[in-house]
Amino acid sequence: MALEYWKCPLGWELMAYDKEVWRATVENGKIPGNMLDEIVPAQYDPDLGHPGIMHPEAAAAMGALLNTAREGGHPGLATKYTYRTLAKQWEKWANYQAGGNLAAYPGTSNHGWAVSVDFTGLTTEVISWLKANAKRFGYVNDVPTEDWHYTYYGGWTPEEDTVLSDEQLAKIKDSAARWEGLLAYLEASATDERADPPQNKPKAFKEGWRAGRILLNRQR
């Protein structure tokens, strides 16, 4: 359905993608899974063995992009590769060194930052559609020789004509609550690293709280 009214959920500003902040917060290819979101509608990633995941804002924007493409007559467009672990990037690099497909050096790939996708289902018409429309959703074809590769550069927020399902709206609100919980833990840990989350908060907030604890432990 088209979004008729958009009210920014609590925490949306907190999870907004900022390249410098994100890279200073997480480690390429080693991002805790509960800091990332599945793309809705679900997009299976064969490298991960489960639905593709990305930075929450990038995932929400990609879901809106895919919905809009389908509304525009391109139902075959889908993502194939999304977030990539460091171990998987080393495999890609070894294959590239042996004469295989181009791959970034491990630790530098935008897939490892959870902001890049490789599309499948591309036709000449779909490629043209992406070039004309992807920037509306914050995505840029930043490897010109690869029509299938797009990276999220940020700045997307739903507009009144954005095509989002009820499931996608619920995912956005859930993600916002998780990020609120993560940042709340980081603030609380300044005085008590063993602090528990407030009991009256939703499950997503508590998941974010736990993610903050994991993140802090990894940075030591």
In a domain, 182, yes or no: no
In a domain, 45, yes or no: yes
In a domain, 178, yes or no: no
In a domain, 135, yes or no: yes
Q: Is 5 a residue whose pLDDT tops 50? A: no
Where do runs of H (alpha helix) occur along 72-165?
A: 86-97, 124-133
Cα 31 to Cα 33: distance, rounded to the nearest angstrom: 6
Cα 82 to Cα 149: distance, rounded to the nearest angstrom: 10
Give the pLDDT confidence of 99-118 residue by residue, as tens digits: 999 999 999 999 999 999 99
Q: Which pLDDT score, from 0 to 100, does residue 31 have?
A: 92
In a domain, 97, yes or no: yes
Coil, strand or helix at 42: coil
Give the pLDDT confidence of 173-199 residue by residue, as tens digits: 777 777 778 778 878 887 777 778 888
Q: What rounded mean pLDDT belongs to the chain?
A: 85
Structurally, how many domains does the chain consist of?
Answer: 1
Q: Which pLDDT score, from 0 to 100, does residue 208 have?
A: 77
Q: Which pLDDT score, from 0 to 100, does residue 173 have?
A: 75
Cα 196 to Cα 58: distance, rounded to the nearest angstrom: 29
Q: In terms of residue numbers, what domain contains 25?
A: 12-163
In a domain, 156, yes or no: yes
Q: How many residues does the chain have?
A: 220
CB neighbourhood size of 30 (10 A)? 12
CATH number at residue 78: 3.30.1380.10
- List the structure tokens of 92: 């890609």
In a domain, 184, yes or no: no
In a domain, 82, yes or no: yes
